[in-house]
């Protein structure tokens, strides 16, 4: 943990160990308000003395925050849905006027996972089945937007581009930020995996500005509920709150179950969208064409 205090919208956050941590939007290039949901609250509402909280208090408050944030998603929006924890929480809390879409090659793991989770959530999901040619065309379009993009990033941005290109709605809601905030990346499970600060910095400094350009190129807009300050502040909690006994996203999984989401959905382990969709495999097969 760095000693340097950073600030998130002037809110000072404390972990259970009363270590002062924070994250500042001011240290990065300006992130436009359009990435946040209408009416988001920039005021910190977490109690100052983190030691007064136990894990169940965090779980309850996070569940309430998720419910409030998702309630502000505009009607007739689309949700990028892969059947995993992050997108399942968004779908479960959203009204039927908000429709989920899954992107992938026919028969890919994400197609199966999305249908399975959607059935448990009693929702219908629209499958956007893509071909290898469509994947490559999308990847080349992204390379024009960001010529310096690396292969790993190209994979998930290609999935995003394909979703934005195919949905009929004007707004696509994504789960972006959940892995950074709640320690979802596999590397956090390894010895020396580090804190989430570098991941959040990359998200705010590189990924979000790029995704804004991608959305604009398709004439659409993206919204990222997990990056609402009411949710993002939980990124400041010590890693031990998020990772226990070799399992990640403990806080978010627990909040999902608190909300009433089936345990099978909340405890599901799945690969990132670029892998589960089959997109990454296609890109790697054509690496010489792309790089």
Query: Does residue 233 register a pLDDT over 50?
Result: yes
Q: How far is CA 78 from the centre of its chain?
A: 15
CA distance 241 to 23: 17
The pLDDT, as a whole number, for residue 40 is 38
Query: Does residue 100 register a pLDDT over 80?
Result: yes
Question: Measured between alpha carbons, how far apart are the two ends of the chain, in Å?
Answer: 36
Q: How many CA atoms are closer than 13 Å to the CA of 226, on its beta-carbon side?
A: 27
The pLDDT, as a whole number, for residue 46 is 41
Query: Does residue 47 register a pLDDT over 70?
Result: no
> Per-residue pLDDT averaged across 25-37, rounded?
41
> Per-residue pLDDT averaged across 188-193, rounded?
71
| Tokens at 2, concatenated | 């760095």
Listed residue (133, 189, 198, 218) closest to 2, CA to CA? 198
CA distance 21 to 14: 6
For residue 15, name the pLDDT band (cuts at 50, 70, 90): very low
Comparing 28-37, 72-81, 204-213, 257-266, the range with the smallest average pLDDT is 28-37
The DSSP 8-state label assigned to residue 207 in this structure reads I
The pLDDT, as a whole number, for residue 192 is 60
Range 63-285 has CATH code 3.40.50.1820: no
- Residue with tokens 């502000």, as numbered in its chain: 72
The pLDDT, as a whole number, for residue 41 is 36
- Is residue 137 within 8 Å of residue 273, measured between CB atoms? no
Phi, psi of 108 (to 5 degrees): -70, 165
The pLDDT, as a whole number, for residue 180 is 93
Domain segments of the chain as ranges: 63-285
Pairing verdict, β 13-14 and 20-21: antiparallel
The pLDDT, as a whole number, for residue 42 is 34
- Percent of the chain's residues with pLDDT above 90: 64
- Is residue 115 within 8 Å of residue 109, measured between CB atoms? no
The pLDDT, as a whole number, for residue 137 is 97
CA distance 235 to 263: 23
CB count, 10 Å around CB of 165? 19
pTM: 0.82
The pLDDT, as a whole number, for residue 243 is 87
pLDDT in tens, 162-190: 999 999 999 999 999 999 999 988 888 77
For residue 7, name the pLDDT band (cuts at 50, 70, 90): very low
Query: Does residue 151 register a pLDDT over 90?
Result: yes
> Per-residue pLDDT averaged across 183-201, rounded?
81
Query: Does residue 27 register a pLDDT over 70?
Result: no
The pLDDT, as a whole number, for residue 82 is 94
Query: Does residue 224 register a pLDDT over 50?
Result: yes
- Residue with tokens 């345990």, as numbered in its chain: 263
**17 or 2, greater pLDDT:** 2
Average pLDDT, the chain: 83
pLDDT in tens, 105-138: 999 999 999 999 999 999 999 999 999 999 999 9
The pLDDT, as a whole number, for residue 276 is 85
Sequence-distant (6+) residues with CB within 8 A of 149 are: 142, 143, 157, 210
For residue 191, name the pLDDT band (cuts at 50, 70, 90): low
Sequence-distant (6+) residues with CB within 8 A of 43 are: 9, 11
């Amino acid at each position: 943990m760095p000693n340097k205090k950073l600030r998130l919208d002037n809110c000072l956050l404390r972990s259970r160990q009363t270590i002062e941590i924070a994250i500042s939007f001011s240290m990065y290039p300006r992130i436009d308000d359009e990435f946040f949901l209408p009416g988001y609250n920039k005021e910190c509402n977490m109690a100052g003395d983190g030691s007064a909280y136990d894990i169940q208090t965090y779980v309850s408050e996070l569940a309430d925050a998720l419910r409030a944030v998702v309630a502000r998603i505009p009607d007739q929006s689309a949700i990028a849905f892969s059947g995993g924890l992050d997108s399942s929480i968004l779908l479960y809390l959203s009204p039927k006027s908000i429709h989920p879409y899954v992107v992938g090659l026919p028969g890919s793991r994400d197609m199966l996972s999305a249908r399975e989770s959607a059935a448990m959530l009693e929702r219908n999901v629209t499958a956007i089945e893509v071909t290898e040619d469509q994947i490559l065309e999308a990847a080349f379009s992204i390379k024009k937007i960001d010529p310096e993009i690396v292969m790993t990033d190209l994979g998930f941005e290609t999935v995003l581009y394909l979703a934005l290109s195919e949905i009929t709605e004007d707004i696509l809601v994504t789960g972006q930020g959940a892995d950074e905030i709640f320690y979802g990346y596999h590397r956090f499970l390894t010895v020396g995996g580090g804190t989430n600060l570098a991941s959040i910095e990359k998200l705010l400094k590189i990924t979000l500005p790029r995704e804004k350009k991608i959305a604009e190129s398709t004439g659409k807009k993206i919204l990222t509920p997990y990056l609402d300050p009411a949710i993002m502040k939980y990124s400041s909690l010590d890693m031990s709150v998020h990772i226990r006994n070799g399992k990640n996203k403990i806080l978010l999984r627990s909040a999902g179950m608190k909300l009433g989401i089936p345990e099978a959905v909340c405890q599901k382990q799945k690969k990132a969208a670029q892998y589960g969709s089959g997109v990454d495999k296609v890109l790697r097969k054509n690496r010489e064409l792309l790089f």
